[in-house]
Each structure stands twice: as structure tokens, then as C-alpha cells.
Amino acid sequence: MNSITTPDILGSLGAAIIVATYMLLQMDRVRSDQIWYSILNFIGASLILFSLYFKFNLSAFLIEIFWVFISLYGIWKKRREISQS
């Protein structure tokens, strides 16, 4: 019988954060140009990447790496906008 591990829990939490963030976007509760949108996506993807360290899957790893870097770009862009205003 497979037991649920801490990486499984954290990876599942990461997936839930990404899905919830996307749901909030669709419900107009968050906008994609808000820093929290990128922060939540970064956190979610990072948690999934952590879980992939223990149970590697190349395709999941690749999508999450892109998700992290795109989220970091969004955070950087928004912080730059804030500092210039």
C-alpha cells in the first residue's frame, strides 16, 4: 500500500494553490496584473517542484520550471512598476 508522504502533500497543496488562483482569476477576484497572482503561482509551482525532487517526472518538471520563471518575471515586472511610481 502506498503511503502519502510530506512531498506528496506539499505537491498537492501546490497544485491546489495554482488551481485556486486560476479559479479566482476566472471569478474576477484577482487580476493577472496583480502581484499576488504571480506570487501564488510561484508558490504553487515551487511546491510541485519540491515534490518532483522525490518522485521525478520530466514533463511535470518542465512545465513547473516554466511556471516558476514566468511567475518570477511577473513579480519582477510588478515590483519595477511599483518602484517607478
Query: Are the CB atoms for 75 and 38 separated by under 8 Å?
Result: yes
Predicted local confidence at residue 67, as pLDDT: 98
pLDDT in tens, the chain (85 residues): 689 999 999 999 999 999 999 999 999 999 999 999 999 999 999 999 999 999 999 999 999 999 999 999 999 999 999 999 8
Buried b (16+ CB within 10 A) or exposed e, 51-72: bbeeeeeeeeeeebeebbeebe
Residue spans of the domains in the chain: they are 6-84
What pLDDT score does 1 carry?
A: 64
Q: What is the pLDDT of residue 2?
A: 81
